[in-house]
Structures are given as C-alpha cells and as structure tokens.
Amino acid sequence: MNSDPVTPTQLVLITGMSGSGKSVALTALEDVGFYCVDNLPPELLESFIELERNHQASKVGIAMDVRSAASLPGLPRRLARLQENTEQPVHLTTVFLDATTETLVRRFSETRRLHPLSLRQTHDQHRALVDAIEHERDLLAELREQALVIDTSLIRPTRLRSHIKELLGAARAPLTLVFESFAFKRGVPMDADFVFDVRMLPNPHYEPELRPLSGRDRPVADFLAAQADVGQMEQQITGFLRHWLPQMVHDHRSYVTVAIGCTGGQHRSVYLAEQLAQAFRGEWSTRVRHREIDGWPSAS
C-alpha cells in the first residue's frame, strides 16, 4: 500500500470588487506557473480541484466574484470543506481586491463597461453605478472578512502584479505582517487592519536639509531616532502588536496589515514602518510597503 504523503494543491482564490484588478492578478499567477480559470461558478469548485489534481496540476488560481452572485453565499463553506479534507489537502490563499467607490466609478466610466449588477439603463447612470457598487460590497462582505485585502485604488497594474507574485512566497507562513506607510491627506488604506496616526511626532519636513529625503535615508532616520517621542511611539506600537498578534494567529488570521500614517507619507510613517518591520522580522514573516513613495518594496 502506498503511504507516500499527498502533495497539497496550492489554491489561490482571487476575488473582490468589479474593476479592482482581478484580471491583472490572475495574469500574475499565470506568469508564475499557476493554471488559472476566471469566473468559475462556486458550485464547481470541489470538482474542478479534483479534476486538476488528477491532471497533476499542483498550483491553481481561480477568480470568483459577483458574476456568480446566486452561489456566493455558500462559497465560504465550500472553502472550509476543502481545507478540512486531510486526504486531499489544499493550501488556500484568498486575495480580495478592493478600491474606493470613487475609484471604481472612474474606472467604469473610463472603460465604458457596464457593472455586472447594473443590468438596466436609467436616466441617472452615475447613481445606478454607485448603487451597484455598494450592493456588490454587501454581497462580498463575508468573503472580504476571510481574505487578504489589497486596496488597488492607488496601485498601478505593474505594481499589483509584482505584489501578487511576492505574496506567494509568504503564503504558507503562520502569519504575514505587512507594514504600510501612507499619507493621511490621500486617505487611509482600505486594506489596513490597524491604523496608527504619527502626525504628532517631530516632523523632518521642517528641516530644510531633510525635506527632500525620505524615512529610509540615514539623515532622516538619525533625526527621528534622536527624538524621545518617536522611540516611545515605536515601543507602544510594538507592545500592542506583540500582545494581540498571537490571538490573531489563534483565530486563523494569515495576514495582518499595520498602516502607519503621517501628513505626507514620506518621513515619519516611512521610518516607523521600516523600524517595526525590522523589530518583528525574527518572529513573523514581514513585508514593507510605502504607498506614497514607491508602492510595494521587496519582502523583509
């Protein structure tokens, strides 16, 4: 009798809002050797995985969204069954792509495509599109709660492709911590699990020689490291995360995004995101991204 362990199927489920970049994400998976299917009906999920396993496909990418609205309510249970099957194991990563309503409206207006839930023409097409987007958010709310959320509002397609590919390297870690710097003047990231406001800290922007630099540059880092308030803020955020992250692992969370915001997203938030990633690097898989500077840097 053959007792060799069964190789798990690596399944990446791409879901999220219409117009948020799911086709870009699916292309990224194809680039790294995934067999991908777009708009697979949820009721075919188990049989499709079994079929691909028989064809020796160990890496599968599937896109599901509101186009299968009638079947979406049962999808979380189907995903749970897949993960509970020890005889045919599946390593699941669910990625939910999101964007602000304003961004989605602009994208649909630019492409002149009809939203999947906008099935009728009205005299007020803008209002109909906004209503369709908000209805879609309601339908996908449960899936969003269980997924890694990526806010694509300010991400170029090339950055999104790179980010999806990088995430696959961390997909099997017990927990991946993402530290993201951002500027409050451009809005809080939609994918943040925790948001820390550091605008009260001393600002290098007011030092002429530091203004054109970023929090990754040594002169700015030295300036901030010398400020007692900055060190206290770093210690308090570190203590908060060390206290609560084990509980999040216990609750089967795979990704936690910690957003650090200042006024311009260039100095204080960048410095603290880098420092926090360094502090947690030996405990968890960590990643750093700087929304206002260069999008999605490499893993830590």
- Kindly state whether residues 82 and 149 are assigned to the same domain: yes
Name the one residue in this structure whose structure tokens are 């803008």. Answer: 126
Percent pLDDT > 70 in the chain is: 91
Give the Cα separation of 218 and 117 in Å (integer).
Answer: 51
Q: What is the pLDDT of residue 296?
A: 45
- Kindly state whether residues 157 and 185 are assigned to the same domain: no
Residue 53 belongs to domain spanning? 9-170
Q: What is the pLDDT of residue 119?
A: 63
Q: Is 297 contained in some domain? A: no
- Kindly state whether residues 190 and 244 are assigned to the same domain: yes
> Is the confidence at residue 1, as pLDDT, over 50?
no
Q: What is the pLDDT of residue 285?
A: 85
Residue 123 banded pLDDT, cuts 50, 70, 90? low
- Kindly state whether residues 215 and 164 are assigned to the same domain: no
- Kindly state whether residues 195 and 236 are assigned to the same domain: yes
> Is the confidence at residue 93, as pLDDT, over 60?
yes
Residue 298 banded pLDDT, cuts 50, 70, 90? very low
Tally of structural domains, the chain:
2
Residue 124 banded pLDDT, cuts 50, 70, 90? low
Q: Is 201 contained in some domain? A: yes
Q: What is the pLDDT of residue 270?
A: 98
Residue ending a domain, choose from 170, 205, 227:
170
- Kindly state whether residues 35 and 127 are assigned to the same domain: yes
3 state SS of 262: strand
Residue ending a domain, choose from 170, 200, 228:
170
Percent pLDDT > 90 in the chain is: 49
Q: What is the pLDDT of residue 194?
A: 96
Average pLDDT, the chain: 87
Q: Is 139 contained in some domain? A: yes
Q: What is the pLDDT of residue 185?
A: 92
Mean pLDDT in residue range 141-169: 85
Mean pLDDT in residue range 250-277: 91
Residue 122 banded pLDDT, cuts 50, 70, 90? low
Here the contacts of 68-72 (C-beta below 8 Å, separation 24 or greater) are: 68/39, 68/40, 68/41, 68/42, 69/116, 69/117, 69/139, 71/41, 71/42, 71/43, 72/42, 72/139, 72/140, 72/143
Q: Is 99 contained in some domain? A: yes
Q: Is 4 contained in some domain? A: no
- Kindly state whether residues 43 and 191 are assigned to the same domain: no
Residues 194-224: pLDDT tens digits? 999 999 999 999 999 999 999 999 999 999 9
- Kindly state whether residues 24 and 135 are assigned to the same domain: yes
**When comparing pLDDT for 296 and 188, which is higher?**
188
- The DSSP line for 63-94 is E--GGGGGGGGGHHHHHHHHHH-SSS-EEEEE
Residue ending a domain, choose from 151, 170, 189:
170
